[in-house]
Amino acid sequence: MTIDLRHGDYVDVLADIQADVMITDPPHSERCHNGQSRMRNSISYVHWQPGDAKGLIDWAQVHVRGWWVIFTDHELWPVFDQWVALHKRYAFAPVPVINKTGMPRLAGDGPTSVTTWLHISRPRSTEWSEWGSLPGYYLYQKDDQSLIGQKPLNLMGCLIRDYSRVGMSVVDPCTGMASTLIAAEQNGRRAVGAEVNEERFRAAKARIEQAQTGDMWP
């Protein structure tokens, strides 16, 4: 299998794509980004507005025929849910990703949250409904401590295996550091993605090459 990573806005550079499954971690809401920036000063990309979330759903409706698995926060989750419903897909209740490796709430003014939410939906056709029961996700060890905020390969591997089959194509319109694409290739799927930020695109290309030479966990 190969990885096709493209530089640019996904709407433009993935216009020719027809994929089986979308698994992606787009920017979260302004509230989430502001909170994380105060704690770690680590988010260099722009948060998403509701219109951005709706745009991703509109794009996926044309380009992705099966499961959509979207990481988000509690602010944007209802936006995804509302827009998916307009496309007549079957949407599930929020699926938690409980990350015990995450940062605590350092402001000291309330409870720590170590949960990210997955918005998961599928077509109503029989092809995608006979899939079986699928889990929530719990992280106790991060496989690459050097990449702040990126989703661990062990988590992305679980999602790839749960929501796609060997030989299927997986698209990630918001590739970031390419964990989804690497996990897809490692699990026998075709992978394609887009990254709009040039610096992250170059870093993701280097990380993909590192993974393909066997110098990366797992």
pLDDT in tens, 117-160: 999 999 999 999 989 888 888 875 555 544 545 688 889 999 99
In a domain, 218, yes or no: no
**In the numeric block, which tokens belong to residue 36?**
């994380």
In a domain, 58, yes or no: yes
In a domain, 217, yes or no: no
In a domain, 207, yes or no: yes
Residue with tokens 């409706």: 61
Residue with tokens 């490796």: 101
Domain count within the chain: 1
Question: The domain spanning residue 82 has which CATH number?
Answer: 3.40.50.150
In a domain, 126, yes or no: yes
Q: Which residues of 49-66 are buried (b: 16+ CB within 10 A; e: fewer)?
A: eeebbbbbbebbbebbbb
> Mean pLDDT of residues grouped by 10 in the chain (218 residues)?
93 98 95 59 74 98 98 95 97 89 59 84 93 82 53 91 97 96 97 96 95 71
3-class state of residue 130 by DSSP: coil
Length of the chain as a residue count: 218
pLDDT value at residue 152? 85
Task: Please tell me the number of Cα atoms within 13 Å of 197 on its side-chain side.
Answer: 15
Domain range for 182 is: 3-212
Which helix (H) or strand (E) is 72 found in, with range?
A: strand 68-72
- Contact by Cβ (8 Å): 62, 88: no
